[in-house]
């Protein structure tokens, strides 16, 4: 059993991911012993030049290294159950739907990390913020 977090670290990655039917190739190093397993992966999506990072928390007994491929599909029934209506994954990823109340804590945490990242990015690259505002 695994819990998975996928980090789409650039707007291009979000757009590519939102299109669905993504195929990714990547490497994997995994160690899982009881409830303490952790997994960190670096993937390159074929539809995008932007990197995608995943973090996986696993339970069980396993250790290994692999080269793998993954195909991601949209689970429409799961989205319908969670949001109470038919919603495409692309609408969720692109922010076209309101945040669900059940995920408010998650969105607050993500917003705080985003703010910290943006502040750090601006401090390290002061000219970049000016260039992006001009676009």
The number of domains in the chain is: 1
- With a pLDDT cut of 90, the percent of the chain lying above it is 10
For residue 73 the two structure tokens come to 């599909």
- How far is 27 from 20, CA to CA, in rounded Å? 21
Full domain range(s) for residue 57: 2-98
| In contact, 117 and 123? CB cutoff 8 Å | no
CB atoms within 10 A of CB 20: 14
3 state SS of 33: strand
Is 121 domain-assigned? no
| 102-131 pLDDT tens trace | 999 988 998 898 888 788 878 888 776 555
| 2-24 pLDDT tens trace | 566 778 877 877 877 777 655 55
Instruction: Note the pLDDT of residue 74.
Output: 80
Is 111 domain-assigned? no
Is 56 domain-assigned? yes
- How far is 22 from 7, CA to CA, in rounded Å? 15
Is 55 domain-assigned? yes
Query: Cβ contacts of residue 53 below 8 Å, gap of 6+?
Result: 6, 7, 9, 40, 41, 42, 43
Closest CA to 72 of 99, 93, 57: 93
């Amino acid at each position: 059993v695994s819990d998975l977090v996928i980090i789409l670290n650039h707007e291009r990655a979000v757009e590519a991911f939102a299109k669905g039917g993504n195929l990714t190739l990547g490497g994997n190093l995994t160690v899982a012993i009881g409830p303490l397993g952790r997994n960190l992966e670096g993937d390159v999506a074929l539809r995008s030049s932007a990197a995608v990072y995943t973090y996986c928390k696993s339970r069980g007994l396993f250790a290994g290294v692999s080269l793998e491929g993954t195909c991601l599909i949209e689970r429409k029934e799961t989205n319908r159950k969670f949001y109470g209506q038919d919603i495409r994954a692309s609408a969720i990823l692109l922010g076209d739907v309101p945040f669900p109340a059940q995920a408010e804590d998650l969105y607050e945490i993500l917003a705080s990390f985003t703010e910290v990242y943006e502040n750090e990015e601006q401090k390290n690259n002061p000219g970049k913020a000016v260039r992006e505002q001009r676009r």
